[in-house]
Structure 1
Amino acid sequence: MNLDHFQKWVNDFYGERGWTKYGPFIRVGFLMEEVGELARAVRTTEIGRDRPDEGDRSVEEIRAELIEEMGDVLGNLVLLAEQYGVGPEEIMKAHQEKLVKRFGEMAEKK
């Protein structure tokens, strides 16, 4: 699945549930909530949680949670982009151009 297809799927899926009706300020709030959950998943992956109430989880379960939270962040980001009429390709191109301009050859090599 490419990012354009993902953006359309997320917009359709969230739209069917009425979740696209929230404006940019609320969407950013959801995005920040998901970023916090991703931060917790990264911490769990890297140094653990040391919480007996959470039980032991396998490496596969921890990795699955990390990927799930990355998906939640990406989903909210593409919804925010959709609200501003910005596609994933435009975002990626602008980001790459900014870094190439800032760092020159170092950014172009990869």
Structure 2
Amino acid sequence: MHIREYQEWLQAYDEARGWHRVSPSQTLVHVMEEVGEVARLVLTLEGYRDAPEDDAALRAHLQEELADAATFLFKIAYQYGLDMEAGLQGNMRKAEERYPVDQGREDMARYLERQRANLRWMEGGDPRTPEGRGGPP
């Protein structure tokens, strides 16, 4: 399936039910609701929250919620006459130009060091020193 095909199907699906008349701002609220559900599942998969399900079930649920969020984003796009396939192709070009591989790796190294510092602080150490003693990051 191509992205454009999905977007066209979604618009026809909504029009058949009269749902295409829901305002984009209300659709955006639905996006936010779905993203909240995605956040809850990610926190659970990372161990921040108790997991009532096994990882496979959580991942399947996450896939469903991500698709729900994407569906509402695609709806906003069709409501404004935007082609998401073209938008995503443009996004790919922009990302490649904006973040060369070497820069991305440098950024990731900085990110990982910051995460190590955060972990030292969470364990009661100083995030500024490898041996770790002191205050917040």
TM-score class, shorter-chain normalisation, is: 0.7 to 0.9
Q: CA deviation at 1:50?
A: 2.1
Structure with the higher helix share, 1 or 2: 1
Residue 124 (structure 2) aligns with = none
Task: List structure 1 runs of 4+ shifted beyond 6 angstroms.
Answer: none
Counterparts of 1:100 and 1:58, CA distance in 2: 37
Q: Confirm or deny that 1:71 pairs with 2:71.
A: no
Counterparts of 1:90 and 1:2, CA distance in 2: 11
Which structure has the larger Rg? Answer: 2
Question: What is the letter of the counterpart of residue 102 of structure 1?
Answer: R
Residue 9 (structure 1) aligns with = 9
After TM superposition, the score normalised by the length of structure 2 is 0.64
Residue 37 (structure 2) aligns with = 37
Counterparts of 1:29 and 1:6, CA distance in 2: 21
Q: CA deviation at 1:48?
A: 5.1
Q: Number of aligned pairs? A: 102
Residue 80 (structure 1) aligns with = 76
After TM superposition, the score normalised by the length of structure 1 is 0.77
Q: Structure 2 regions of 5+ residues with no counterpart?
A: 103-137
1:57-94 Cα deviation digits (max 9, x unpaired)? 12221111100001101100110100111112221122
Q: Confirm or deny that 1:50 pairs with 2:50.
A: yes
Counterparts of 1:48 and 1:13, CA distance in 2: 37
Residue 24 (structure 1) aligns with = 24
Give the percent of matched residue pairs that are identical in Structure 1 and Structure 2: 33
Q: Structure 1 regions of 5+ residues with no counterpart?
A: none
Counterparts of 1:8 and 1:77, CA distance in 2: 13
SS where residue 46 of structure 2 aligns? Answer: helix
Question: What is the letter of the counterpart of residue 57 of structure 1?
Answer: E
SS where residue 47 of structure 1 aligns? Answer: coil
Residue 95 (structure 1) aligns with = 91
Cα-Cα RMSD: 2.1
